[in-house]
Amino acid sequence: MHSIIQLFVRHGGLLTLVVLQVVCLYLIASYNAAQRQVATASWVKYSGDVMDWKTRLYDYLDLRDENNRLRSENARLQTLLINARMGERPAVDTFSLRREPSDSASQKIVRPEYTFIPARVVSNSIGGRNNWMIINRGSRDGVQPNSGVITADGLAGIVRYVSEDFSMVMSVLHRQTRISAAVKHQAYFGSLLWDGENPQKMVLSDIPYHLKVKPRDTIEISHYSLMFPEGHMAGIVDTAYRVDGSNFLHIDVRLSQNPAGINNVYIVNNKFSAQLDQLQQAVKDE
């Protein structure tokens, strides 16, 4: 105890200076938009480097299980690739009475709408009200802000900030996350969001109460989502009931991907997102 007091006596001025500098930097970054962007970019870069080194160490200590997982994942991806190639075939327009190969309007090519970038999670938080992840892919890998992030089993989050080598992802366990989802084989869609309670569950809102939704029904991404591929698994219904005085159901969804166990992810790039964003902006400008 005496040594600690002597430390503060000898170096109290320096310690006070350091504390005040930290407080000043925090206040500047909190109340100034430009400085906040700089602070966020710096945090992504330097914390990403540290977390990436930590993850590589853990990977080295767990190589056997990781290799087994990668073999299974590669087999799954090969199957998806073959199916995608089979789907890229001409579809004749049934409204056209004349089938002329040179008529581009009477033939349509089924094209994939998304490209996927594999990535590794180097940092992941689940204990707060607004949680984030850092992944080891950035702008030089083709990652763009507002891209969806998925796993083989479910959802991970949405890319918000991108540096050259890392990206910060807003987790599904974030109060601002909104994902367009629907009950499988149902025509209605709603917003999948987190209520800040159970980290393994989200809530699907805006589903009319007259629909027959029961436990263990599948919840998947709707075709209105621009960030995630339609039909991708999100979870299963845990409970569904009508809220008193409301025309909608309250649906608790148990996530198919446990947010605490996310290690390998795919960044989803929508090939037509720029065009769709441009159209949506034109509508807003009207």
Q: Which residues, in sequence order, are bridge partners of residue 205?
A: 191
pLDDT in tens, 52-100: 887 777 777 677 677 667 755 755 675 565 456 445 544 444 333 334 4
pLDDT attached to residue 72: 59
State the chain's mean pLDDT as an integer.
80
pLDDT in tens, 17-50: 777 877 877 777 677 777 777 777 777 777 777 7
Question: CA 203, 208, 209: angle at the middle one, nearest 5?
Answer: 90
Radius of gyration of the chain (CA): 24
- In this prediction, residues 255-265 reach a mean pLDDT of 92
Parallel, antiparallel, or unpaired for β 218-221 and 201-208?
A: unpaired
Output 231 or 76, whichever has higher pLDDT. Answer: 231
Whether residue 208 contacts residue 188, with contact meaning beta carbons closer than 8 Å, is answered with yes
| Domains of the chain and CATH, by start | 2-60 (no CATH), 62-112 (no CATH), 114-286 (2.40.10.340)
pTM above 0.85, yes or no: no
